[in-house]
Structure 1
Amino acid sequence: MNQSNLSSAIREHISEIFYLLNFFSQTQVEQWDRVPSDFSPAWVEIGDIQCNADSSIFFLTLMLSGRVYLNFLEPHIHIFNENMKSILYEIGGLLDDWIINTYYDFIFLKRTEDEIMNPDRIWLILSRLCKIALGYEDWGKYQIDELSFDYFVKNYTHSYDPI
């Protein structure tokens, strides 16, 4: 896909996926070191996801899930090759079926290396899938903007909704 033919929305989508894959390719402890510890609960809206996020890691997990889901809809569906789409599909299933819906209350707690428990190993699987996704696609052919945690907060959160 020629970079000059990409809309700003597509370039933003690619930059967001790239940032999130890089973030979640890190270990669980490294992830916590890269986000603010004083995250204020906020209402999140991305794709079909609309809910409150009460931790920075849960917030970014929602961002990744939302971006992966949007990747399979027009106009995003033609961005990546079939191998990349397959990996993103696996990441989406892991996020939605296991991390977000199954372990919600337990898995988003900050831990040290000594405190990591068996259910936390799901983050190792997510990390490996993200590393594979980063290796499948020739990311160098895209213009990728450097993003930050604050970028996602600014663009995808609203006032906390105490529902």
Structure 2
Amino acid sequence: MNQHDALQQEEPAEHLRFRDYLSKLEQATEADEVDLISEVLTDPDQTMAQSAVVRHLDRRAADLLCGPAYEPWAERLTQATTRCPFLTRRLREWSLFRAVTLRHPWRPDALLESSDWLQLKTAAASNEAALEILADIGRTKRIRNTARTNLKRQTRH
């Protein structure tokens, strides 16, 4: 037995399932994505299962963000994740990020009430209205500084 095999035998079962879930989710078709997510979310280790699903959501949302397929995808996945508040919130925040990015209508209070993850992601984006809000009253110093830096960069160009 080589060292790699020995390490794999010692690896906890949830780590193996996590990698397996990520692989299956990456290969999922539109037709089986919701069923697969529902299956992953039945895992007894909910922290691991939700972590695998959020990685998938982040990857797919980033891929679909600016196109017309985003909205029906987000609706399907919201239904599949309805029992998981963290995942539902993440999808809602991706939709807010999409609105900010595409300059669709959005509410400043929704951005200010969002997670640090979304505020930081938005502070690194290029919507001047969002950057001004986050530069002034973003939740953390890092968010405010990132927004200020990007706002200054925009005004120079």
TM-score (norm 1): 0.27
Structure showing the higher helix proportion among its residues: 2
Larger Rg: 2
Structure with the greater relative contact order (CA < 8 A, sep ≥ 6): 1 or 2? 1
Q: Which of the two has greater strand per residue?
A: 1
